[in-house]
Amino acid sequence: MNTSLFILAALFAVVFGAPLSNKEKQRVAVLGNFTVSEGVVHNELVVPPKNCKAIQENDPNAVSGIYEVQSSNARTYKVFCDMDLQEGGWTVILRRTDGSVNFNRDWSEYRTGFGNLLNGNYFLGLENINALTDPNIGKFELWVGLLKHDLPNLPHFRHIATSSFAHYKNFRVGDAQSLYQLTVSEYQESSTAGDSLKAHNSAPFSTPDRDNDKDRESCAQKFKSGWWFTNCLESNLAGVWRAKAEGEADQGIVWESFSGDRNSLKSVVMAVRPLQE
């Protein structure tokens, strides 16, 4: 039973006294772990929110961690919410801390997402990011946090708030028909890492088995990752993680305006949040 039908059935059971199965009771317990302002709430039954900001708005004391959210078409999925970064409410869509997760993956894996929300290395998935940044919800901002190899990782990546970052007040990923086209603009001058996404604006997504870039050769195959490649890159946060910074040009986790084209980054994060204007 999908989430929407389950919610209706469970509400009916609560109001009219109909019994719930053991499986349904377990589902109610899961949904009752948090309460949100958007969605139907009856006793402890909850329609999951659309993003981490909605969770925070209902519970200002919500902590960083894994939560369940729901897309506009009622599909539910799990995300990591960063409630510490810049006043909180951020949904993390990509995070790299070490080389434990391989990012040299095919189109289907980038489409659905991969990695482990718990250990910090993952890509949330193009379908999920498209749902998160649905223009019907509103406008979204993007925070890119970058850490070089000479600095330590800290719990919940609080270093991002004080380390180098790029902040954009317009971010969206298109649907499958657009090849998950990137829309990014309104770079904030308060940022400290420089703008290495501007050159990728309007680019479709590419993977080693799906070449959608403008270059004569496959950038995704050359750099062993998926990304919004053009001719080929000024940034690639899905590149191969390296244990040391220096290496071959553009090989590794790259944000050229911050670290140049020969220095791979140690830790990076991309997070989105509904824009508060």
On whether both 10 and 140 belong to a single domain, the answer is: no
| Distance between CA atoms of residues 115 and 120, nearest Å | 8
Strands (E), the chain: 41-42, 45-46, 65-70, 76-82, 90-96, 114-116, 121-123, 140-147, 164-173, 182-187, 235-236, 254-255, 267-274
**Per-residue pLDDT for 5 more than 60?**
no
| Distance between CA atoms of residues 235 and 227, nearest Å | 9
Domain enclosing residue 34, as ranges: 1-47
Cis bond upstream, residue 232 (ω within 30): yes
Number of domains in the chain: 2
Query: Which pLDDT score is estimated for 153?
Result: 61
On whether both 156 and 19 belong to a single domain, the answer is: no
On whether both 70 and 42 belong to a single domain, the answer is: no
Confirm whether 245 is domain-assigned: yes
Query: Which pLDDT score is estimated for 239?
Result: 95
Q: Average of pLDDT values for 28-52? A: 45
Q: Average of pLDDT values for 54-69? A: 94
203 token code pair:
């680019």
Query: pTM score, two decimals?
Result: 0.80
Token pair 């590794």 is at which residue?
A: 252
At residue 2, what is the residue type? Answer: N
**Per-residue pLDDT for 141 more than 80?**
yes
Q: What is the CATH number of the domain that holds 160?
A: 3.90.215.10
Contact yes or no for 249/261 (Cβ under 8 A): yes
On whether both 108 and 144 belong to a single domain, the answer is: yes
pLDDT grade, residue 39 (50/70/90)?
A: very low
Query: Which pLDDT score is estimated for 21?
Result: 41
| Distance between CA atoms of residues 254 and 248, nearest Å | 11
At residue 176, what is the residue type? Answer: A
Average pLDDT over the chain, rounded to an integer: 81
At residue 222, what is the residue type? Answer: K
On whether both 88 and 148 belong to a single domain, the answer is: yes
Query: Which pLDDT score is estimated for 47?
Result: 76
47: which DSSP letter?
A: P
Query: Which pLDDT score is estimated for 277?
Result: 66
Torsion angle of C-alpha atoms 228, 158, 165, 126, degrees rounded to 10: 10
Query: Which pLDDT score is estimated for 18?
Result: 40
**Per-residue pLDDT for 128 more than 80?**
yes
pLDDT in tens, 230-253: 999 999 999 999 877 666 766 899
